[in-house]
Amino acid sequence: MAKIVYGVSGEGSGHSSRARVVISHLLRKGHEVKVVTYDRGVQNLGNDFDVTETIGLSIITEDNKVSKSKTLAHNLAILPNGENKYHKIKNEIFKKFKPDVVITDFEPQTAYLANHYHIPLITIDNQHRMRYLDHNCPLEMIPDALMTENIIRAMIPRPDYSIIISFYEGKLKNKRSCLTPPILRKEILDLKPNTGNEILIYLTQGYESIIDFLKKYKREKFNLYGYNKDEVDENITYKSFSKDEFLNDLTNAKAVIGTSGFTLMTESFYLGKPFLATPMKGQFEQEFNAFMMEKNKFGRVMKKLEEQTFSAFLYELPDYREKLSSYNHYGNNMVTDKLDELLADDLKLIKEFHNKRTLNHKIESFFDFLDL
């Protein structure tokens, strides 16, 4: 059995939600797993697994837009605390525990340490779609797509194998990756969806301009999460987060509105819920998720608060439901089967990928040296 370090991004809850599924599987198989994460990852995984806290970068938003100045200020403020946590992970996790393999769900520190100690590195995430999946990207998105690909390359350098989760198909660019449907938590798989009369909304706190917009639709009732309060304001019911209540509202919703985060979108698709995407401005992955969702006719994109777009979405709900009726798959078993294959026979297959990747890197470095 293998000793595994599992790095989990703590930005939002999606990474830790799917990591819980995979980590639980690894433990059932007898592997020893140490988790490295931060923020939501600590909150969601800390009570159930062997978790070491690190620091991670966060995105700060205002009215559904990335605030570059506040994001920079926030991340600069937490950096002084990072050095001690980094040395703890390096000394206690990598030097003492001596992992056989590192798995990361878009957590960069564990990826860099895997490279530093020449440990095989596996990625399980949706971000690597942007790097290893061939898309027909709209012309206006190409500059942001190239920038995002370079950011991913910088965040997670030289993975030996990538398990890429996606709600759409595409052609892989290399043989060191595979494509699977999304990982879904057990709570979602256990739900029996029903079409009720209310629309569930999950948004980042601070998107104030949408409130007055929703009040125009007096015939509609909205359950709004993300504002950390419980009150009723005309046709909007604010709800502070409760997992059970949220799942109940999700399973009974007639539609879902949210930023284009991967997890909520794919959970909604699985439950047959049409999705109105309001991608966060400045977040390319969200904008591309929304584009691919609309291309697959699972819902609509509303980048600006437009009555015409919103009314069209409501009118077309039956069409989206019909299209989503065939979207009933999930990738949990595909992911865990591939992981078992990579780790079988004393990690034989992932070691082969690692050795090939290392050799290719040495050859590339040699020719770069000659060019000097």
Q: Convert the pLDDT of each residue in 145-172 to its tens digit.
A: 998 899 899 889 999 999 999 999 899 9
Higher pLDDT pick, 359 / 97: 97
Q: Report the CATH fold assignment for 3-183+331-371.
A: Rossmann fold (3.40.50)
- Domain locations in the chain? 3-183+331-371, 186-324
Q: Concatenated DSSP letters for 276-345?
A: EE-PPBT-HHHHHHHHHHHHTTSEEE-SS--HHHHHHHHHTHHHHHHHHTT-----HHHHHHHHHHHHHH
pLDDT at 62 over 90: no
- Its CATH architecture, for the domain 186-324, is 3-Layer(aba) Sandwich (3.40)
Contact 282, 259 (CB under 8 A): no
Calculate the average pLDDT of the chain: 89
pLDDT at 79 over 80: no
Other C-beta atoms lying within 10 Å of the C-beta of residue 181: 21
Give the mean pLDDT of 39-57.
91
d(CA 37, CA 48) in angstroms, rounded, equals: 13
Contact 272, 325 (CB under 8 A): yes
Predicted local distance difference test score (pLDDT) of residue 207: 77
pLDDT at 277 over 90: yes
Contact 61, 206 (CB under 8 A): yes
Query: Two tokens at 96?
Result: 């003492």
Closest CA to 6 of 105, 94, 98: 105
Phi, psi of 348 (to 5 degrees): -55, -50
Give the mean pLDDT of 73-98.
75
Give the mean pLDDT of 117-125.
97
Q: How far apart are the first and last CA of the chain?
A: 44
Other C-beta atoms lying within 10 Å of the C-beta of residue 264: 23
Q: Do domains 3-183+331-371 and 186-324 have the same CATH topology?
A: yes
Predicted local distance difference test score (pLDDT) of residue 138: 87
Contact 250, 200 (CB under 8 A): yes
Closest CA to 196 of 245, 255, 257, 246: 255
d(CA 352, CA 356) in angstroms, rounded, equals: 6
Residue 13's Cβ-side half-sphere holds a number of Cα atoms within 13 Å equal to: 14
Please say whether the dihedral angle defined by the alpha carbons of residues 130, 134, 136 and 142, taken in this order, is positive or negative: positive
> What does R_g of the chain's alpha carbons equal in angstroms?
21
Give the mean pLDDT of 122-148.
91
Q: Convert the pLDDT of each residue in 340-365 to its tens digit.
A: 999 999 999 999 999 998 876 665 55
pLDDT at 64 over 70: no
Give the mean pLDDT of 196-200.
97
pLDDT at 204 over 60: yes
Higher pLDDT pick, 13 / 97: 97
Query: Two tokens at 300?
Result: 């609509």
Predicted local distance difference test score (pLDDT) of residue 359: 78
Contact 276, 197 (CB under 8 A): no
Other C-beta atoms lying within 10 Å of the C-beta of residue 329: 13
Give the mean pLDDT of 101-106.
97
Give the mean pLDDT of 70-90.
63
pLDDT band at residue 336, thresholds of 50, 70 and 90?
Answer: very high
pLDDT band at residue 67, thresholds of 50, 70 and 90?
Answer: very low
Give the mean pLDDT of 138-146.
90
Give the mean pLDDT of 261-286.
93
Give the mean pLDDT of 200-215.
85
pLDDT at 75 over 60: no
d(CA 162, CA 130) in angstroms, rounded, equals: 12
d(CA 188, CA 108) in angstroms, rounded, equals: 28
**Residue count (the chain):** 372
Predicted local distance difference test score (pLDDT) of residue 32: 98
Give the mean pLDDT of 56-70.
52
Predicted local distance difference test score (pLDDT) of residue 119: 97
Contact 272, 326 (CB under 8 A): no
Torsion of CA 192, 196, 198, 203, to 10 degrees: 20
Q: What percent of the chain has a predicted confidence (pLDDT) above 70?
A: 89
Contact 60, 11 (CB under 8 A): no
pLDDT at 292 over 70: yes
Query: Two tokens at 50?
Result: 């062997």
Give the mean pLDDT of 220-225.
96
Give the mean pLDDT of 168-190.
94
- Specify the range with the lowest mean pLDDT, choosing from 226-230, 317-321, 347-351: 226-230
pLDDT at 366 over 50: no
